[in-house]
Amino acid sequence: MTEQQREDDLLAELLDLPEGEHDAGPPLDAMPSLTRREEQALLAEAHAVGTPTLTPTTTPQDATATSFAGDLVGLVRRYPLPAVLASAGLAMLLARQRRRR
């Protein structure tokens, strides 16, 4: 069962409850009432929007602005073997430099 099916089932259960069985809250006549179809349409719209993320979205003006770490990760993913060889060579140079001191 998917999460959307669970939400749809829960919504159907809540809409089928008699008025006296709802959780304590504001009086039902004070709340705007929606029909079952309106509730399901609202739920469908919420699913269409999706889950918000905390990552910033790129806009056309800052599409060229990237971080150094992001560029480095992209290079390593694109060229894994040369990246390993370059890092091994750098490690050997640093170790050799350290022995001289």
CB contact at 8 A, 16 and 22: no
The pLDDT value recorded for residue 92 is 95
The first and second tokens of residue 91, run together, are 């490690």
User: Looking at residue 73, what is its pLDDT?
Assistant: 87
The predicted-structure confidence for 19-41, as pLDDT tens digits, reads as follows: 555 555 555 555 667 788 888 88
By C-alpha distance, which of 53, 42, 33 is closest to 7? 42
CA 2 – CA 42 distance, rounded (Å): 18
| Cα–Cα distance for residue pair 19/23, rounded to 1 Å | 10
